[in-house]
Structure 1
Amino acid sequence: MAGAPVPCQDILKTSEGSRGEIGARPCMFTRFRGAKQEAESSMRNQQAQDCHTVKLVQKNPGQVKSKNKPLTLMVVVNEVSLKATLDTGASISAVHPSTLEQCGIKEGAVLPWNFSPLELADSKRCTPAGVVWLPVQLLGHLFTHCFAVIPDLSCPILLGTDFMIQADVHIHPATGSVRLGDNASSVPETYPFEEGTASKQMLDSIRIGYFSEPVNLFSS
């Protein structure tokens, strides 16, 4: 069993009786130091003790503009190509009403929303116009998934973690590429909008880990 980690400051010390032992740290001998040398040594020791609290401070952060954008990819819904937004911070998927019209989805296909309002990340509430099952073709695979119809959604269609789990979506942050794993399912195993759980869903911003800032998906 590995021993406990050695604190940073202990690296600068030598235990008694360690001289001559195999793998022991070399002894450090003390010699006379002037006032300037003592001050520099004290500063180095303090830095070593504070090594676990080191923070990188960006200079002039207001002048640096992020070029990161929401991760999007093309999907096909009812033979219509759409730019979908991947949101790992949203636990349910959503679609804009105009997207349904664009894809030829009739109003009768939209089921009523009989659940509690969605709870957004900023603690605001949002009541969808309904729910709808859509055929989504992604990377050559066809999935049937349930989407919340959100009139204020600022993207055509949003794929949340519920869809990503069903489709076994894998995101590569460094390249922004997406692939599907071997555990994809054409239909979800559970219905995403169960009574008593819908109010806990999060659906208002892109929160993919490598984004520098959340990107609001809802129009003001």
Structure 2
Amino acid sequence: MAAKIFLLEDDPILGKAIQIQLELEQFDVHWAQTLSSGREIFKTQPGIDLFLLDVNLPDGNGYEFCEWLRSEGITSPIMFLTARTDEESVVRGFEHGANDYIRKPFGQKEIMARIKNQLSERKPVLDILRFAGLALIKNQQVLKTEEGLVTLNRREFEILRVFFENPETIISREKLISSLSSGEELFDRTVDSHISHIRSKLSKNGIANVKINSVYGQGYRLEKTP
């Protein structure tokens, strides 16, 4: 399967040139020209293997997007493509979670070598939890079904991880809260809201062989459906 690359570049000429170059190398490219459109693509394209981000964008900057990706639990390589060549900008890129920083203008051979280097270094062994024909891929924070991949945010993933590690077992709200907490105060209704979103995603993606059932006064249980 071709590696999936996300490109965030507002220059239409440069963006198209990079897209064509990557597609010639058999990569699956998803190109956005603004932060807002980039977020929409990210939501609909799970399992992205590498991100290429411009810094200066019409509605913000790539640093913000990089930081947001890392806050969402994304571990895929992130590379900046930018005309900002001063040391402070380079350091800022790494501080926001980047793996590499490429100064414009750059040569085709250079960018391809750097991309392939990042992808070859990544190659993790997939850490997978399985239940009822579904696979929760921990490295990529997605749920794999026979039809495709379901994207999860950090909290949805952590909740499903607890269920997949304890299938057919009643899980209390307290345990779910402890799996989500990172020094922040959380409440029962927060867990209920995230479980509602998970149920909605399962339904929208046609996943009918499992269900998260409420157990009155005790919590929730992930079960196979008859």
TM-score tier, shorter chain, comes to under 0.3
| More helix as a share of residues | 2
Tell me which structure has the larger Cα radius of gyration: 1
